[in-house]
Chains A and B, each alone.
Chain A
Amino acid sequence: MNPSFHEILLRSKQGPLVEEKEFDMSLFRKTQELQKKYEIRYDPQRPLDLEGAAADRIYQAGVDLYLSQGTYCSTTHRVIRVSEDELSAALADCPEAIELGQGEDRVRMVHRDVEGVQEPVVVAGIQTAPFSDERMMATIYEGCARDACVDGIWGGILLKIEGEYEVVAGTPSEIYQYRKTVEILRRAVAAAGRPGMITINNAPTCSATIAMFDEQTGLRRSDYMESTGMSEMKVAYDDLNRSAFALAHGVPIHGTHSSVIGGFSGNPEGAAITAVAASLGLVCVHKAVCFRCGTVDARIKSRVTRKQLWVAGTAIQALSRNTRLIVDGTIGDHPAAGPGTKQYLYESAAGHIVSTVMGAHSTEGTRKFVVGSTCNYGTPLESRWMGEVCKAAAGMDRPTADRIVRYLLDKYEVHLSDAPEGETYEALYDQKTNTPLPRYRKLYEEVREELKGQGLPLS
């Protein structure tokens, strides 16, 4: 039987009491053991698993890891465990399809197969980035929402209230400002002629995230609630508060977790096993109906290193081949390079091709990995690129994806540590027409033609 949310909460209070350090080190020991048991090997010469055999072994290792390790509740210092039967029931209870958005802007988010032709849902937008003022925020959102290849928009934040008062997480200013920000987002998608479009945002604290939900002017039941798992294989009550609200309010829950290459998962093989195991945790503990299966590298500020492409791509493939879950990949969401550069487009394309071909959607927005407090650090053109690439990669076979990704890796891999910073919206766009300046349009078209030449079927 699938353990209910309330049963999970009970286990978070009554499960084994474990020191966090012991849980972390246990994760390392188990991932090392399991990669030997299942003969899992990362080969840098093969950034994509083309046959799926390794993915299947990683899935089995992920199941073993989840059943033995469980999810650590950092609030109560207890381990939440589920049995094999309970895991099977939880996976069986998960829907194969959900609907997001409203009216003409509604989309169906379904289980995607490896090399599947099912259309990936794309939620773009400059995710969680800071904006300088309401006008600029509305303009950029509206520009992102105009592209038909984009199904939804991720919001960001205005760092000052009334241009004067600083927004600080965990204080009343956070609730006020996130709430005001999502209202701007709703008005912007309506102004773009897509009032029913998916709108997403996630504040640092659950109270501010919950405060954004309001059918009239905020996030709706047709959007999703983000419930984030902590790296690695952990959860806090602040995350489960989001799940509790979403379950009571009738909002689909989107889980998120990143295994860490170089962290307690250890090597890429361990990170792939943990990525699968943590995804199972998002289903069982967070009650997610769709989730992001991702990874980060402890040393590099990009999500599309060769190792990351293999880890996330193989973990997504593992889940796509062995379950009917709705998986979100979004590997290309945070390039090292900044907007307005070819490298940004190369990195983004590599990640989104892998996500899509391995069986995932891409719903976590797009922006430079590190934006700091620089405002307006992105334009609608990067969202269009994300949408164009994801939709074009649907139905592509793995050997073709592998060839294009290798081509892209050759372009950007050596520049990840000295990636170009790029430019802000003001430098890249004509603000009166909300369109890219000729030099940025030219750069975009050049890369577009280049990838078409490599076999990416951009329409």
Chain B
Amino acid sequence: MSTNHEQERLLAELKTAILEYAEGQAEATTRQIIAAGIDPLRVMNRTIAEAARELGDKFESGEIFLPHLVMAGDAMARVSELLESALEPGSEQRTGGKTVVIGTVQSDIHSIGKDIVAMLLKANGFKIVDLGVDVPSEQFVRQAKAESADIIALSSLLTTTMPFQREIIEILEQLGERDKYKVLIGGGPVTGGYADEIGSDGYGRDAVEAVETAKRLCGGSDASEPSGGGP
């Protein structure tokens, strides 16, 4: 076991690598962290969570842009993968990042807003399954089942495609699977009132609010925190 000072140095180095989008450096430092015997849970719940928060703040203030979130998200995904592989058997269930199946609903090809939410969620430790745009309702349900998703996140930028958000909730109800997933909706014309009306579990007025709502739906302040049962 390394000294506390050495551990702190490695964790700071990892955070810097993530914030500088240096995936290779982040991977190398993570291997050193594992070799030094630092608890992977501590890294996930502290270092990665802090980096994610800083990234979200910088994006919100206009200091960084979507491509930076993509690069940081890639780095964090690789780090998380290594840390999970280093966990002791049996502890995965407690630590695995929550899974979000996300996409823009059928007949709607708007992608940027959805992409930003996906990247911010990824940066906050969620596992993202991005289905893209113009996604048929059944595909959301099918993929959520295949991925054992925690959240289904639905973007709609057109008034006439908003009904697909409701349709997906109805399909889940008809299949008796509504309770298995939290449904999070958003998009330009979507309002909190509409979210309540169609029975979704959460709504994001913008990308940052969507991430906060996703965290809340997972019962914690961060996706990688133990959720005590979860959705």
Contact = CB atoms under 8 A, between A and B. Distances in A.
A168 to B, nearest CB: 5
A370 B156 CA distance: 13
A190 to B, nearest CB: 26
Contact of B158 (A21, A28, A169, A299): A169
B194 A373 contact: yes
Interface string B119-142: 000000000000001000000000
Given A231-B111, A263-B112, A372-B159, A170 B62 contact: no
Contacts of B158: 169, 204
Task: Give the interface SS of chain B, mostly helix, strand, loop or mixed.
Answer: loop
Given A21-B70, A262-B65, A373 B112 contact: no
B188 interface: yes
Contacts of B163: 166, 168
Interface stretch (B90-98, B102-110, B177-185): B102-110
B70 A373 contact: no
Interface string A262-290: 11111100000000000000000000000
A136 interface: no
A9 interface: no
A458 interface: no
B40 to A, nearest CB: 28
Nearest to A173: B160
B65 A370 contact: no
Interface residues of B, number: 31
Contacts of A24: 67, 70
Interface in A428-452: none
Contact of A238 (B109, B112, B190): B109
B112 A298 contact: yes
Contact of A25 (B60, B70, B164): B70
Contacts of A157: 159-160
A260 B112 contact: yes
A238 B106 CA distance: 13
A266 B64 CA distance: 8
A372 B70 contact: no
Contact of B66 (A170, A263, A296, A301): A263
A128 B113 CA distance: 19
Interface string B191-225: 10010000000000011000000000000000000
A396 interface: no
Contacts of A166: 163
Contacts of B113: 298
A169 B189 CA distance: 14
A205 interface: yes
A328 interface: no
Contacts of B66: 260, 262-264, 298
Nearest to A267: B65
Contacts of B70: 21, 24-25
A371 interface: yes
Nearest to A177: B160
Contacts of A188: none
Nearest to B60: A299
Q: Chain A interface: which size bin? A: 35 or more
A260 B163 CA distance: 27
B161 interface: yes
A47 interface: no
A299 B206 CA distance: 8
Nearest to B188: A370
Nearest to A301: B188
A20 B47 CA distance: 30
B65 A373 contact: no
A266 B67 contact: yes
B67 A28 contact: yes
Interface in A289-327: 296, 298-299, 301
A167 interface: yes
Contact of A204 (B111, B112, B161, B191): B161
B162 interface: yes
A67 interface: no
Given A230-B109, A372-B191, A372-B194, A25 B160 contact: no
B107 A169 contact: yes
Contacts of A170: 106-107, 161
Nearest to A369: B188
Nearest to B160: A169
Nearest to A371: B189
A230 to B, nearest CB: 6
Given A24-B67, A264-B67, A372-B159, A168 B194 contact: no
Contacts of A266: 65, 67
A328 B199 CA distance: 41
A120 interface: no
A191 interface: no
B192 to A, nearest CB: 10
Nearest to B193: A372
A414 B162 CA distance: 31
B189 to A, nearest CB: 5
Nearest to A129: B159
Interface in A367-422: 369-373
A82 interface: no
Contact of A262 (B62, B107, B111, B159): B62
Interface string B34-48: 000000000000000
B116 interface: yes
A238 B190 CA distance: 24
24 contacts: A21-B70, A24-B70, A25-B70, A128-B159, A157-B159, A159-B160, A168-B107, A169-B107, A169-B108, A169-B158, A169-B160, A169-B161, A174-B107, A204-B158, A260-B112, A262-B59, A262-B66, A298-B113, A299-B62, A299-B206, A371-B159, A372-B190, A373-B162, A373-B189
Interface of A: 21, 24-25, 28, 74, 128, 130, 157, 159, 166-170, 174, 204-205, 230-232, 236, 238, 260, 262-267, 296, 298-299, 301, 369-373
Given A166-B163, A266-B67, 6 more contacts: A25-B70, A170-B161, A230-B109, A231-B111, A296-B112, A369-B188
The 4 A-B pairs of least Cβ separation, nearest first, read: A170-B107, A169-B107, A28-B67, A169-B160
